[in-house]
Amino acid sequence: MIAYNGEFTLHSDLRCSDKSLTHRVFIAASIADGVSKIRNAVFSRDVMATVEALRKLGAVIDIEGDCATVHPVENVPQGEVTLDCGGSGTTARLLAGLAAGLGVRAVFVGDESLSRRPMTRVTEPLRQLGADIRATEGCLFRCDGGRLTGRHLHAQVDSAQVKSAVILAGLFAEGVTRYTERIPTRDHTERLLGALGADVHVDGLTVTVRASRPHAMDISLPGDPSAAAYPVALALLKGRSAKVDNVLVNPTRMGFYDVLRRSGADIRLSNEREVYGEKVADIQVFPSVLSPLRADAADVCNGIDEVPLLAVMALFVKGRHEFVGTAELRNKECDRIEAIRHIAEVAGQSAEYENGRLTITSNGTVPGVRRYKTFGDHRIAMCEAVLSVAAGSGCTDSAPFDVSHPAFTDVLGIRPLKLGLIGTHVKESVSPRMQTYLAMRAGVCCSYDTVTLPEDVTDDKLLEVIRSYDGLNVTMPFKVRVARLLGANVPAVNTVGKGIEPQSTDGYGLTHPLIRHGVHFEGKPLWIVGAGGAAESCVTELLKYGCKLQVINRTESRARALRNRYALPECVFEPAGVLTFLPECPFEQQLTLPDSCEFVFIAAYMGYSNIRAQAEARGITVVDGFEMNYSQGTVGFSLWTGTPLQDDYEGYVQYVKEFDYI
């Protein structure tokens, strides 16, 4: 989870090198005639998938900071190799052409999102060139070499990735390979290879390739126009000026900017120059009044990855907005058409799609305090970040920025506090949802992660994780261990952070909900069921209120140890309340609620509870762990952020009912 407020600072001196060009530069360097130097590279997850695959194909790639030295392939692997493309369609499709050209036996695999994306669009044209490449169960496809012969192929889909695969294969084919497009797609591959001396030429919509090898290079990569689109969009939505330096301005990548200019955006290019066949410039944007957005098929082709961002911007502009030729958005890391529909719906607007035409209708007002799904898609996550900041608040379920733009929050000048929860079973925790609510209500920008660690994690690793966060909740089985490692003055802790005393908020989490329900527990006899860290923390808290406590536990020795530690009596008769800290289990289910009981507290809030069932049947007050979790969370959030303690449980419950989209 990451929650946003309206705070941001745009910086022009922070940049993210062009991801599309980075993939291609590494591939070209891996088949060049010498050693290449690549500077100002972006090592996103997608790019690293390409780097690792090239290493398996025989390239030697040394990385230091944002620079790399590439020694080209000298001897291709003799046996079969597995190329893991992760979630990168660029890696899979471009390297299909390279593997076919090198004659390598390779199995291409990828993550779940990539496995859903179409691959016959690239394997079929390569087969027409003579490659032995085919779909196989359990992988994306496999390549078993083949003898490549140049042919004239015509594009069946408008895809720069398919075109690039054919061009790369054509560098190794006998004769002449030609590829003719229906409409122009991004042309980085042919520009780069041509600039490096390979026999690659462009005539209108046709690329001609002959067997050849590119020269080695020493290149400093320009910035990514896709990455620059996010600060440009935010500046326009918030009425600010901004400048992003050293950006690739290839005409086939400028669809986003062309659409905005026609809509009234004051976007200017300056300091224009050329780097290895590519146009580079500084992009400046000035406050502008936008009219409804219109994008034709060429605009969409030249800015396909930025269409979701244009859709987000359209939500802030009153009117009807149309984008033509968007069918390809359904074949990205997620179905981005469905993602856009979700965003529009959550923002109170509408998005419709039919036959490749995306239409958005907006009243121009986007509310804050909304939760958006990212669908695990890095570009959707970045779009929703821009939307949330522009709206003044909002949050998303995840933030996979590092897939393409590791410096995303730095470029936008967003500084989220890094918060989280550690434990062995935390994926289903409600804490991220609750911390989201607290953050948006307080206007705090923060992330909140769930971090699953094995029970036998080393002390050093546990401390390393703790120190990497601004604030952490600690759950079982680490409460006692973390207390010891951090030298806490309590036996178990659930809240730690930079600049705060490690502590347990269990006591407040217990007593505050009881007080909220009007339960009079002060000085009363009570039964405590359980003898773990949470039970002990609540014992220490209840003793402050003069309560008489009896500890009951399925393991009597643990109950006795807790009684002895706090000089508690063995028996307490006619308890006014029963407080259980056990999960669903046979021991809890066999307990009988005494007739004297006026209220029960149940720390668990999932699964069956016999104590709850008995209490509800008798009509006595029940307080459960959901309220405890909220009260605990408010204390931790206040300590981490320095904001006043919040007590708005009813608002939180309403928020969960209305806005729990995740």
Whole-Å CA distances, 197 to 101, 194, 214: 18, 5, 5
Residue 660 clears pLDDT 60, i.e. is over it: no
| Whether residue 624 sits in one domain with residue 568 | yes
User: Which H/E stretch holds residue 158?
Assistant: none
Which CATH number is 478's domain given? 3.40.50.720
User: Does residue 420 belong to any structural domain of this protein?
Assistant: no
Distance of CA 43 to the CA centre of its chain: 16
- DSSP for 501-525, written as a single string: --B--HHHHHHHHHHHTT---TT-E
Starting at the edge strand that comes first in sequence, how are the strands of the sheet with 67-71 ordered? 60-64, 67-71, 36-39, 218-220
User: Does residue 422 belong to any structural domain of this protein?
Assistant: no
| Whether residue 264 sits in one domain with residue 203 | no
| Average pLDDT in the chain | 93
Tell me the C-alpha distance between 310 and 375, whole Å: 18
Maximum alpha-carbon separation in the chain:
96
391-404 residue pLDDT tens: 999 999 888 898 88
Q: What is the mean pLDDT of residues 119-145?
A: 94
Strands 393-396 and 371-372: parallel
Helix axes 188-195, 19-30, angle to 10 degrees: 40
pLDDT value for 588: 85
User: Does residue 423 belong to any structural domain of this protein?
Assistant: no
Three-state helix/strand/coil letters over 368-427: CCCEECCCCCHHHHHHHHHHHHHHCEEEECCCCHHHCCCCHHHHHCCCCEEEEEEECCCC
User: Does residue 428 belong to any structural domain of this protein?
Assistant: no
User: Does residue 639 belong to any structural domain of this protein?
Assistant: yes
Sign of CA dihedral 555, 557, 562, 564: positive
- DSSP for 344-361, written as a single string: HHHTT-EEEEETTEEEEE
| Whether residue 402 sits in one domain with residue 515 | no
Starting at the edge strand that comes first in sequence, how are the strands of the sheet with 446-452 ordered? 371-372, 393-396, 2-5, 446-452, 417-423, 471-474, 495-497
| Catalytic (active-site) positions | 305
Tell me the C-alpha distance between 20 and 46, whole Å: 10
Tell me the C-alpha distance between 403 and 156, whole Å: 28
| Whether residue 8 sits in one domain with residue 26 | no
pLDDT value for 661: 42
Number of domains forming the structure of the chain: 3
Which CATH number is 255's domain given? 3.65.10.10
Residue 172 clears pLDDT 70, i.e. is over it: yes
Q: Is pTM beyond 0.75 here?
A: yes
Where in 67-150 does DSSP place strands (E)? 67-71, 81-84, 105-109, 131-134, 141-146
Q: What is the mean pLDDT of residues 269-284?
A: 93
Q: Are 445 and 409 in contact (CB under 8 A)?
A: no
Q: What is the mean pLDDT of residues 505-517?
A: 92
Residue that terminates a domain, selected from 181, 196, 220? 220
Tell me the C-alpha distance between 625 and 613, whole Å: 15
User: Does residue 442 belong to any structural domain of this protein?
Assistant: no
User: Does residue 149 belong to any structural domain of this protein?
Assistant: yes
Whole-Å CA distances, 205 to 97, 209, 255, 612: 20, 13, 18, 72
| Whether residue 146 sits in one domain with residue 194 | yes
Q: What is the DSSP letter of 584?
A: S
Q: Please, which pLDDT band fits residue 413 given cuts at 50, 70 and 90?
A: very high
335-361 residue pLDDT tens: 999 999 999 999 999 999 999 999 999
Q: What is the mean pLDDT of residues 45-71?
A: 96
User: Does residue 447 belong to any structural domain of this protein?
Assistant: no
Domain interval for residue 127: 19-220
| Whether residue 199 sits in one domain with residue 276 | no
| Whether residue 532 sits in one domain with residue 643 | yes
| Whether residue 381 sits in one domain with residue 524 | no
Burial 534-567 (b: 16+ CB within 10 A, else e): bbbbbbebbeeeebbbbbbbeeeeebeebbeeee
| Whether residue 393 sits in one domain with residue 307 | yes
| Whether residue 39 sits in one domain with residue 7 | no
Q: Please, which pLDDT band fits residue 646 given cuts at 50, 70 and 90?
A: confident
Q: Please, which pLDDT band fits residue 425 given cuts at 50, 70 and 90?
A: confident
Q: Please, which pLDDT band fits residue 659 given cuts at 50, 70 and 90?
A: low
Q: What is the mean pLDDT of residues 553-558?
A: 92
| Whether residue 197 sits in one domain with residue 283 | no
Beta bridge partners of 420: 449, 472
Residue that terminates a domain, selected from 220, 244, 268? 220
Q: Kindly tell me the number of DSSP H helices and DSSP E strands found in the chain.
A: 24, 31
192-204 residue pLDDT tens: 999 999 999 999 9
pLDDT value for 15: 67
Strands 266-275 and 294-295: unpaired
| Whether residue 34 sits in one domain with residue 9 | no
- As given in the structure block, the two tokens for residue 520 are 């009079």
